[in-house]
A = this chain, B = another copy of it.
């Protein structure tokens, strides 16, 4: 595993690139933008920049770089996210109250740790640490997506509706009709094969690779569009309890949901959508985004279809990728910063990028799953309850950070991530 990356130069280069991307995401943001926490589920941009740095300091530098001195002893408490094994930590809902250290000091913290990391990566035994460094980089890439999610939520709370980046049109045409793609059933293997020497990085929760029994099914070739969702809204979808899970219906009423999270009614009757590029008329060709599991499930019921299981999704994705192809799509590198209409194609499109796709699968450990040893084992396993799996990546996911086995997960009521839905049906 990681044979190439572990070469000192390769890994150091990758370290530099990933770290630089985080800093680039903050360009154009004021210190004010970076310090505020808009809800307990979100964190300040500044906190993300510091926490990802804390990961390297805590798990790589302190134990492995002789003579390394932490930048500031208080940061261990301030920037631990949820690792119980590493000690006490600042409560999550209070992250936004820490105005000091500020943005400038966090930048200095990053520089300090980056320099030490590059020293560490040049040492003879760096290869031994490559898996943990790679985990740290994957962790940072997750936080890059969180930065954009959290920032969008923050800006959505501002009556002046700020834009993070200027709007730039996509060159995609209108949404195509789409079609049903049949996939065979049978015993299939899913999950990342770490033990078997699986290629590339994967989180612990993506394995062990194991066999499941699938029934033949069909998956729709593209994600559900805003236009299709609008029909659901206009058909009273948010007012009909028969379409909803009981917990979902309670949420609809408690939260007053009547559309996806960032849809807003315009002064005229039309719907508008708040995005990282400001508020714009709803793009009916783009995939619907910022919906919760409850909504995805209700929509599927309304449409007479269902959500795919994660095994179905992964199996279908495997047929797209074939061997050796990299998963690509509208991810962070496109610079679009929003989902856009699917490209035309004969088969499955839009499987990677644009929007994370809710599956019918509750998030739990695969057969034989064991968390990694030590504190980093708190990474994924302890969240295996009450959440649902999403697959595929989104327009805010870093480019190399999507793969067929990737298991993202959120609570069924959450909507601030770039989440959408693709329909399935029994064959």
Interface residues of A (CB under 8 A from B): 30-36, 38, 46, 74, 77-78, 82, 84-85, 90, 94, 96-103, 154, 157-160, 162, 187, 210-213, 215, 241-242, 244-249, 293-294, 297, 360, 362, 364, 367-368, 382-386, 412, 426
- What is the bound-complex CA distance between A165 and B297, given in angstroms? 45
Partner among B84, B162, B386 whose Cβ is within 8 Å of the Cβ of A100: B162
| Contact call B33/A100, Cβ cutoff below 8 A | yes
Q: Which of A31, A101, A244, A364 has the most CB of B within 10 A?
A: A31
Tell me the nearest residue of chain B to A375, going by C-beta.
B242
User: Can you spell out 13 A-B residue pairs with CB atoms less than 8 angstroms apart?
Assistant: A31-B32, A33-B102, A36-B36, A38-B97, A97-B154, A98-B159, A99-B158, A100-B162, A245-B383, A247-B383, A294-B385, A367-B426, A386-B412
Knowing A30-B99, A77-B159, A90-B159 touch, does A362 contact B360 (C-beta < 8 A)? no
- What is the bound-complex CA distance between A215 and B90, given in angstroms? 42
| Contact call A385/B99, Cβ cutoff below 8 A | no
> How many monomers of this chain does the complex have?
4
| Contact call A32/B35, Cβ cutoff below 8 A | yes
Q: Which residues of B contact A157 (CB under 8 A)?
A: 94, 97-98
- What is the bound-complex CA distance between A154 and B96, given in angstroms? 10
Q: Which residues of B contact A34 (CB under 8 A)?
A: 32
| Contact call B368/A360, Cβ cutoff below 8 A | no
| Contact call A187/B213, Cβ cutoff below 8 A | yes
CB distance from A135 to the nearest CB of B (A): 19
Tell me the nearest residue of chain B to A100, going by C-beta.
B162
| Contact call A82/B246, Cβ cutoff below 8 A | yes
Q: Which residues of B contact A187 (CB under 8 A)?
A: 213
CB distance from A178 to the nearest CB of B (A): 24
CB distance from A51 to the nearest CB of B (A): 15
Knowing A31-B31, A213-B211 touch, does A385 contact B247 (C-beta < 8 A)? yes
CB distance from A92 to the nearest CB of B (A): 11
| Contact call A242/B33, Cβ cutoff below 8 A | no
- What is the bound-complex CA distance between A103 and B78, given in angstroms? 25
- Given contact pairs A187-B213, A248-B385, A360-B364, enumerate 9 new A-B contacts (beta carbons under 8 Å): A30-B102, A32-B102, A36-B99, A78-B159, A98-B158, A212-B213, A246-B385, A362-B362, A362-B364
CB distance from A274 to the nearest CB of B (A): 14
- What is the bound-complex CA distance between A360 and B365, given in angstroms? 9
- What is the bound-complex CA distance between A30 and B101, given in angstroms? 10
| Contact call B74/A36, Cβ cutoff below 8 A | no
| Contact call B242/A30, Cβ cutoff below 8 A | no
Q: Which residues of B contact A100 (CB under 8 A)?
A: 30, 32-33, 158, 160, 162
- What is the bound-complex CA distance between A385 and B74, given in angstroms? 41
- What is the bound-complex CA distance between A175 and B213, given in angstroms? 39
Tell me the nearest residue of chain B to A241, going by C-beta.
B84
Tell me the nearest residue of chain B to A362, going by C-beta.
B362
Q: Which residues of B contact A368 (CB under 8 A)?
A: 215, 426
- What is the bound-complex CA distance between A384 and B362, given in angstroms? 10
- What is the bound-complex CA distance between A101 and B368, given in angstroms? 52
Q: Which residues of B contact A412 (CB under 8 A)?
A: 385-386
| Contact call A158/B97, Cβ cutoff below 8 A | yes
Q: Which residues of B contact A246 (CB under 8 A)?
A: 82, 382-383, 385
Tell me the nearest residue of chain B to A162, going by C-beta.
B100
Q: Which residues of B contact A78 (CB under 8 A)?
A: 159-160
- What is the bound-complex CA distance between A94 and B157, given in angstroms? 8
Q: Which residues of B contact A98 (CB under 8 A)?
A: 157-160
CB distance from A407 to the nearest CB of B (A): 14
CB distance from A152 to the nearest CB of B (A): 13
- What is the bound-complex CA distance between A74 and B383, given in angstroms? 42
Q: Which residues of B contact A99 (CB under 8 A)?
A: 30, 32-33, 35-36, 154, 158, 162
- What is the bound-complex CA distance between A90 and B249, given in angstroms? 16
